[in-house]
Amino acid sequence: MLAIIWFTSLLISLAPFAGWKDEGFSDRVLKSHVCLISQQISYQVFSTATAFYIPLIAIIVV
């Protein structure tokens, strides 16, 4: 169970660096030193569902 939690956290955190990002993400982080969440809507839906809604449903059901 703990390994699943760590894997999910890593997946959400590293997805923008693996290519799932908007065009200006790398420039904001590497050049401007501004850390913002990727503004791509599909990534936002994925991260919100994975980090909040899926655990919420699991807690309610169990």
pTM: 0.69
Split into its structural domains, the chain has a count of: 1
Domain that holds residue 28: 2-61
Helix H segments across 1-62?
A: 2-14, 25-26, 41-48, 54-61
**Quick one: tokens of 39?**
């503004």
The pLDDT tens digits of the residues spanning 12-37 come to: 988 887 877 777 777 777 888 877 77
Reported confidence tier of residue 38, pLDDT bands at 50, 70, 90: confident
pLDDT at 59 over 90: yes
Phi first, then psi, for residue 25 (nearest 5°) are: -60, -50
